[in-house]
Amino acid sequence: KAGVTQTPRYLIKTRGQQVTLSCSPISGHRSVSWYQQTPGQGLQFLFEYFSETQRNKGNFPGRFSGRQFSNSRSEMNVSTLELGDSALYLCASSPGTSGLTDTQYFGPGTRLTVL
């Protein structure tokens, strides 16, 4: 099976712009989670989608949003970019069938740089 894919892998934006990141989960997986990874804050949970519904949300401002499509692919959007949004954004998919013990499979991430 193909792994989790994320596009683009690298992105450079300027302050005030918006950005959309894409994630294609492993075939058959219905749950997609997003994380932000920075050197200072580590890995922080953004949100989780399951069957097109947001099931969980982390403590991020409303500028961060996401959605999931019927084929389980997911996108996240960040509007009005700030310098502090520079990070590695990781997407993880899981089958969604074992609940809390589900293993999350991570993609390689999208490296976002905000200038």
Nearer to another protein, 47 or 81 (CB): 47
Residue 96 contacts another protein per CB under 8 A: no
The continuous run of DSSP H or E covering 110 comes out as strand 110-114
Three-state SS at 83: helix
Under the binding rule (CB under 8 A), the answer on residue 4 touching another protein is: yes
Write the single-letter amino acid at 68: Q
The reply on whether position 23 binds another protein by CB under 8 A is no
Q: Does residue 13 touch another protein according to CB under 8 A?
A: no
- As measured in angstroms, the least distance from the Cβ of 42 to another protein is 5
* Paired tokens of 53: 């519904």
> What residues form DSSP beta bridges with 53?
50
Shortest separation between residue 104's beta carbon and another protein, angstroms: 7
Q: Is the dihedral of CA 37, 41, 42, 43 positive or negative?
A: negative
Q: Judged by CB under 8 A, does residue 108 bind another protein?
A: yes
Q: Least Å distance between CB 77 and another protein?
A: 19
**Which residues lie closer than 8 Å to 80 by C-beta, 6 or more apart?**
16, 18, 63
Site residues (CB under 8 A) for another protein? 4, 33, 35, 42-43, 45, 48, 55-56, 58, 90, 92, 100-101, 103-109
